[in-house]
Chain A
Amino acid sequence: MFLSKIFFILLALAAAIAATFAVIAPRPFERRMGTLEGQRLDRAQYAAEQMFKVDAHKWIDHVGKLGRDAIIAESLDAASRGSGEYTVIHRTIQDRFRTLIPDLASGGIDSIVALDTKGRVIARVGENEKEYGDYIGGAEIIADALRGYLSDDVWGVNGRLQRLAAAPVLSKNRDRMVGAVYVSAETGPALVERLKRNLDVDVALLLRGKVIASSRGPGELDALPDLLTRHAKEIETAKRTQPILMTVGKQDVIVVAAPFPGQAGEQQAFYALVGEHPANNGITALFANATSDDLKWGVFPWLKLAAGMFGAIFVGLALQRMEHDSPIGRLRRELQKLASGDVHKIQDSSYGGKVGGLARDINAAVERFTHAPTQRSDIAGKDLNAILGPSGGSTFDLPAADSAFSGGGPAPAFAPPPSSGFAPPPPPSSFAAPPLPTFAPPPVPTFSAPQPFNAAALGFGGNSSGSDGGAAMAAEETRQDPLPLPGTTRASAWGQPAPSAPEYEPPANSDGDATRVVPYDEEEEEEAHFRHIFDDFIAKKRDCGESTVGLTRDKFLQKLRDNKASLVAKHNCRTVRFSVYVKDGKAALKATPIRE
């Protein structure tokens, strides 16, 4: 049982460890996936930043080429100098712009604006192209262009983000500045789609606390402005955020945001890259996300799993058989043998653990029932086997001093054994028929039994059959109870057979007929008892299938006499009564010392 217990404990531990792994393992994986997604967003943000830079440079190059156009330069020179018709100059520049860039939309341009050296708008193409003449030279990018710089900027005006690039327009001789040109492109859904396509992440654009464009569903990222406001300090110093975890509905997303450059940066203009946070990878999610491919033979270690499972079952069953089933089976077979009398006890030393304890308990119980002590005697009966050799039987106790056999009163010689507290030896039936086969009454007719010793009351005269003596005694008991010794009547009640009486003459009737008294010869009675024991012993041996070869009456009787003499001498008893019984399938003898 020990190994089985250990095995099951180990099995439970292994199952617990496996369950722990199943619960815990996804978490580091989830963290790792989150980290990797954050790193991917970092790289995407860097890529977006580089893309914006390249875009800005491309716009600057573009607008620089426009500034080098001769017609535009001459027109702006005239406008700056105040020469020429203002309206004509306006139309000339517009036409030139349309010629150079026939399709603004395909180039992603919202508008192209030409300004003179005072910052006055001379011509527009695209948005508000009919308006001109206004001054916008205060804008930093325009002022920079009029100082001679080519630069870019991002504006957040009227709830829209605009990327701008401006360049100075030099005179035909390239010796002075005659104006400036700038292009603007709205930075909205088109940019979002482009970023999403190139970076494979969701993109959102924010301006002044509002999401102005997003590749996700409307309203999904409404919490983003507040989130970025909380990271304003980080954005100000690092010009970007670390990956931030954000909940969108029931989904977690990772956000990396960075400010736009230029004056839009002052207007809380950000672009945010949104990545999917790894899904909850608990056990439920693991099973929910598993596909049939995960369970294919080449992927899942079915053979190892089956081998492990059957191995565990085999080991468990083997241990159970070794420690439980097999010992129990052996014990049962031994118990059957014990019940059938083939063995005296169980070989408890061959069992271990609790089965061994059980075997020892059974042995102890058998021992207790077999060798139960009497209540009133501590003198053990002598095993005739020790006297007669291999054919001896077990022992039983000497009757108590006050029993019918003890001779406390004028008890008959063949009084039954005391009943109170007496545990008859197994099987009691052998004792139930004490042999008094042919008792010859003594020839002395003048024997007068004492008054209490009433032979008829003891059943001596009632019936010649020993087996019926008990019944006869019971019948007499109902009639009268001449004997004060309870042991006598109780013996009848116990069913103990009364010794067979010799031929019995009924007592004289009241009209004076003489009572016939049978003389008692103790030696003869003993001889008859020995012969009866011999006959009974032979019969029992035959019943048990034992051989009786070599067992002669004379030798047997002589042996009984010798044993009687030694027992009488040893126990200082009056005589010894023998009985035959079957023990372990063999006929056996018991000796009962009889005191006075």
Chain B
Amino acid sequence: MSDAPGTRSEQGNTKTRQYATFFVSDLFFGIEVLNVQEVLRYQEMTRVPRADNVIEGLINLRGQIVTAFDMRSRLQLGERETGETPMNVVVRTEDGPVSLLVDEIGDVIEVSEENFERPPETITELARETLEGVYKLDDRLLLVLATDRVLQLN
């Protein structure tokens, strides 16, 4: 992911970027659209016993085995309500595709770089670790997810 403000000037005069957005709990997140491979409905999942509980399971993505991350538990946003099925946001990583389980899919939106801001110092360490920054939209804040750091487990 190259969301760092420094790399952005390459974008040319428009100075806008496109983000695929989704909701986890009541938070509005975005991942740069080029890094998103696809978005899927809930897939049948095979649990991986003994794995970190952030890892929800494995899904069969057209013959490819993809590891699914539960964003709620990764971001410590509490349990998903029973009956709600998460959606898969499949992102590309160096280690092949990884699916992020989110509550709801939003639109692909185009944002202007002027509205970007680093996360404030006051947020928790977890938030700082997983966030690249924030776009100030008219009606809400778009949190830019640092995918590579999100997918790093200790």
B is a partner of A:
no
> Chain B: residues with CB nearer than 8 A to chain A?
none
- Residues of A bordering B, CB below 8 Å: none
